[in-house]
Amino acid sequence: MSGEPTDQEDWRALSPRTLWLEALRAGPQSVRLLPVLLPIGLAVDWAYVAPALLAALLLAFGYSWLAWRRFRWRVAHNAIIIESGIFEKQHRTIPFDRIHDISVEQSPVARALEIARVGFETGAAADPRTGEVKLNSVSVSDAEELRRTIRLWREHALPQETEVSAVDDKSLFRLSTRDLLLAGFFNFSLIALGLAYLAVQWLDDLLPMDLLDPDTIVSFARQSGLELWLDANRWLFAIGLAAALLLVGFATGIIRTVLRNWDFRLSLGPRALRRVRGLTPRTDIAVPLARIQSAIVVTGPIRSMWGWHALYARSLASESTGAFDHQLVPFARLEAIDKVLEPLDVSRPGNAIEWQVPDLRVQAMPGAIAGLLLGLTGLGLAMLDRWEGPTVLIVSGLSLIYTAILAGCHRWAVAGTTLYIRRGWWERRLTILPFDKVQSADVCQGPLLRSLGCVRLDLGVPGVTAAASSTIDALPPETAVELRRRILGVQPRNR
Amino acid sequence: MRPPEEDIISELASEETNLLPVDPSYESVMRVVLLLVGMPLAVGISAVDYFWVAAAGGPAWLLTLVAWGAVAAIAVLAPSRRYARIGYSLGHDELRVARGYLFRVDTIVPFVRVQHIDLRQGPVERAFGLSGLVLHTSGSHNSTVTLPGLPSATAVAMREMIRKHIQSDFA
């Protein structure tokens, strides 16, 4: 309580000109009211439409006004404090030390009104609902002052950054044309066939006959004598069809890969990785090394037979794109991947590492239950002499087998201060997670886990969109708690 | 009260530090919120029952009875159970929050990792003088940790303590 300043005059409101912005925005937004207003006009009376629209706009404006009245902020001696909320009040404290940078944005209208939107980049900006930190509109002078305050704070608090020597980027990885084509080969995809089907369906109305109607095809076959030919050369036809499918699939894969990864280069600059790739569009992005949180090595059952892997880096999204995964290496052998991992300060698990298998029962349980239910349905259908019966039975059997395989693929291991998590059978992902990148750790337990005496360890890692890559299912509680202690015990290296 | 084998997390909790309960009036807060949400629903269902089911000669009052019974049962039982599960401990460099009745979650956040701090207060909480503390860490997955049901003064004190840590760690 001692640190709470009591001076009340310090509070600032957002610029009242914010309300003009809100009012301007209300115009286009009132289009959304059309679905409500139209029925009123049609069913009741058109005379009510204008008053209803006015009432809605007034209500919206009243809400904006109330929100504006309730919003206030101030600069304390080492933090920014924001209070907001009409019904649920929120009091937010953002320490200066956590603000990496300040952005000042101005839309054309805002420029005319001489206000600016100030965004605080804290590294927590990923959840727009709760984590977004913004002052929607303050006067331009306030925005500039705020930026100065924080820049000053950072300068005196941070050690001066060492001079960046002007060295040329060091090449880390290049995808050769041979590997590019090979990668396309593994990218087999029948998506083109689906597109063709859609196209034919769409063209249906324009064509004189219905191409997808079996009757049309049969009658066409009869007329042209194709039927006789097919009957005579059944095997030839089947082989031809299969070959055509394969050709389409491989061609699609190769074309897509070439467009995306043409002349793929990854190089290491002074503080960032730089990646250039693609034909159209050719993209050039920089991934700051300090923002990379974890690395993921991906392979598949067929690719891994020849030792091909891909490498992704997970980083804090710096832009609004929401893409956390950066592909660093699309297709390479492990030696090439190791070379890229080196500047990231992580390494692949050695051969001697002891992989731990989480409780298989727990992992297989949900899939097994679903598979068994499906199996029972299939059995019931088969007993009723329905033709679907055997098919459903086969599907349920396959799903049971797949569940078992998948459960067996989830492993974890610890080496030094790095956690490795392996998952998946068709897409095999190995997540390399340094302890010091873990922000928080949950030990969770639902009814199913409780009945088996297990817990799940769920690690909060920046930039992880798919929760699965930072969780370990089904651990004994003691192991989970001990592991959590070890992980959280490692302090961050560079803040 | 609860069978011992059910309570793996709480037991482990006592190994490290004992978890403190949140303010007892948070139970009432949860109850009031549940009633505020549940009663309009029950009223709506009663209306459906009265205007359509009864009018169509269906089993009159059955739906109404079930709806109000469910609301009453949930409002009586759920808050006390949930309250019993919420616990926290404030270590010298981390906050631990355990919560959840059916699905239990036990979270630890080192203060070093906190990016910014919210205090939250809904209308019902305000009436009871309670606040919730929300810690934001970096990133998107599991990035907020909420500790509800603290007396407002405690919540402010905890926020100030965590804030000091963020500064001292900085050097």
Segment B83-107, tens digit of pLDDT: 988 999 988 888 999 988 888 899 9
Residue B92 is encoded by which pair of tokens?
């010298």
CA–CA separation, A333 vs A335, rounded Å?
6
A454 CB-contact burial (10 Å; exposed 0-12 / middle 13-18 / buried 19+): buried
Q: What is the mean pLDDT of chain B?
A: 83
Q: Minimal Cα distance from B113: which residue of A?
A: A439
Q: Measured between CA atoms, how close is B51 to chain A, in angstroms?
A: 24
Whether the per-residue pLDDT at B23 is higher than 90: the answer is yes
Which pLDDT value is given to residue B116? 85
Q: Measured between CA atoms, how close is A448 to chain B, in angstroms?
A: 9
Q: Minimal Cα distance from B139: which residue of A?
A: A462
Which pLDDT value is given to residue B3? 42
> Using a CB-CB distance cutoff of 8 angstroms, which residues of chain B are in contact with residue A484?
108
CA–CA separation, B107 vs A267, rounded Å?
39
- Do the chains contact at A447 and B94, CB–CB below 8 Å? no
CB contacts < 8 Å between A and B, how many?
174
Q: Measured between CA atoms, how close is B46 to chain A, in angstroms?
A: 27
Question: Where does the pLDDT of residue B71 fall: very low under 50, low under 70, confident under 90, or very high at 90 and above?
Answer: very high
- Do the chains contact at B109 and A439, CB–CB below 8 Å? yes
CA–CA separation, A68 vs A14, rounded Å?
7
- Do the chains contact at B118 and A90, CB–CB below 8 Å? yes
* Nearest Cβ partner for B102 among A447, A467, A492: A447
* Nearest Cβ partner for A122 among B116, B140, B163: B116
> Using a CB-CB distance cutoff of 8 angstroms, which residues of chain B are in contact with residue A78?
167
Residue A95 is encoded by which pair of tokens?
């320490």
Whether the per-residue pLDDT at A394 is higher than 60: the answer is yes
Q: Measured between CA atoms, how close is A93 to chain B, in angstroms?
A: 5
- Do the chains contact at A440 and B118, CB–CB below 8 Å? no
Q: Which of A338, A329, A336 is nearest to A298 (CA)?
A: A329
Q: Minimal Cα distance from A292: which residue of B?
A: B139
- Do the chains contact at B143 and A94, CB–CB below 8 Å? no
Q: Measured between CA atoms, how close is A233 to chain B, in angstroms?
A: 58
Does an H or E element contain B46, and which? helix B25-48
- Do the chains contact at B139 and A491, CB–CB below 8 Å? no
Winning range, highest mean pLDDT, from A150-164, A195-209, A272-286, A475-489: A475-489
CA–CA separation, A114 vs B6, rounded Å?
61
Q: Minimal Cα distance from A459: which residue of B?
A: B142
Decide which of B17 and A127 is more confident: B17
- pLDDT tens-digit series, residues A20-66: 877 777 777 777 777 777 777 777 777 777 888 888 888 888 888 88
Q: Measured between CA atoms, how close is B144 to chain A, in angstroms?
A: 8
A354 CB-contact burial (10 Å; exposed 0-12 / middle 13-18 / buried 19+): exposed
Q: Minimal Cα distance from A451: which residue of B?
A: B6
Question: Which residue, among B5, B95, B96, B141, would best test binding to A if mutated, counting the most A CBs under 10 Å from its CB?
Answer: B141
Q: What is the mean pLDDT of chain A?
A: 79
- Do the chains contact at B137 and A447, CB–CB below 8 Å? no
- Do the chains contact at A92 and B140, CB–CB below 8 Å? no
Question: Which residue, among A293, A440, A479, A490, would best test binding to B if mutated, counting the most B CBs under 10 Å from its CB?
Answer: A440
Which pLDDT value is given to residue A1? 38
Question: Where does the pLDDT of residue B152 fall: very low under 50, low under 70, confident under 90, or very high at 90 and above?
Answer: very high
Decide which of A492 and A461 is more confident: A461
Whether the per-residue pLDDT at A90 is higher than 80: the answer is yes
Q: Minimal Cα distance from A323: which residue of B?
A: B140
Q: Measured between CA atoms, how close is A77 to chain B, in angstroms?
A: 12
> Using a CB-CB distance cutoff of 8 angstroms, which residues of chain A are in contact with residue B102?
446-447
Q: Which of A183, A147, A201, A346 is nearest to A256 (CA)?
A: A183
Neighbours of A260 (CB within 10 A): 20
What is the layout of strands, in order, in the sheet containing A265-268?
A: A170-174, A265-268, A272-277, A283-288
Residues written for chain B: 171
- pLDDT tens-digit series, residues A367-379: 788 888 888 888 8
Residue B9 is encoded by which pair of tokens?
């997390």
- Do the chains contact at A444 and B106, CB–CB below 8 Å? yes
Amino acid symbol at A399: S
Strand ranges inside A289-378, DSSP E: 292-299, 309-315, 325-332
> Using a CB-CB distance cutoff of 8 angstroms, which residues of chain A are in contact with residue B136?
122, 124, 130-131
* Helix and strand numbers, DSSP H then E, in chain B: 5, 7
Residue with the two structure tokens 């305050």: A149
- Do the chains contact at A446 and B104, CB–CB below 8 Å? yes
Decide which of A68 and B1 is more confident: A68
Q: Measured between CA atoms, how close is B142 to chain A, in angstroms?
A: 5
Q: Measured between CA atoms, how close is A215 to chain B, in angstroms?
A: 49
Q: Minimal Cα distance from B158: which residue of A?
A: A1
Give me the phi and psi of A297, to 5 degrees please. Answer: -105, 125
Q: Minimal Cα distance from B14: which residue of A?
A: A481
State in Å, rounded, how far the first CA of chain A is from the last one.
27
Q: Minimal Cα distance from B163: which residue of A?
A: A95
Q: Measured between CA atoms, how close is B7 to chain A, in angstroms?
A: 9
- Do the chains contact at A4 and B156, CB–CB below 8 Å? yes
Question: Where does the pLDDT of residue A4 fall: very low under 50, low under 70, confident under 90, or very high at 90 and above?
Answer: very low
- What residues are paired with A474 via a beta bridge? none
Q: Minimal Cα distance from B152: which residue of A?
A: A1
Q: Which of B171, B170, B122 is nearest to B149 (CA)?
A: B122
pTM value is 0.74
> Using a CB-CB distance cutoff of 8 angstroms, which residues of chain A are in contact with residue B137?
124, 439-440, 460, 462
Amino acid symbol at A405: I
> Using a CB-CB distance cutoff of 8 angstroms, which residues of chain B are in contact with residue A443?
9, 12, 105-107
Q: Is the dihedral of CA A13, A15, A16, A19 positive or negative?
A: negative
Whether the per-residue pLDDT at A385 is higher than 80: the answer is no
Amino acid symbol at A460: G
- What residues are paired with B114 via a beta bridge? B137
Write down the ipTM of this complex.
0.77
* Nearest Cβ partner for A92 among B8, B9, B116: B116
Residue with the two structure tokens 């301007």: A24
> Using a CB-CB distance cutoff of 8 angstroms, which residues of chain A are in contact with residue B6?
450
Q: Span A378-407, mean pLDDT?
A: 82
Cα A440 from chain centre: 19
CA–CA separation, A335 vs A206, rounded Å?
55
Which pLDDT value is given to residue B69? 93
> Distances from the Cα of A313 to the Cαs of A47, A266, A324, A448, B166, in angstroms?
60, 12, 8, 33, 28
* Nearest Cβ partner for A440 among B122, B142, B153: B142
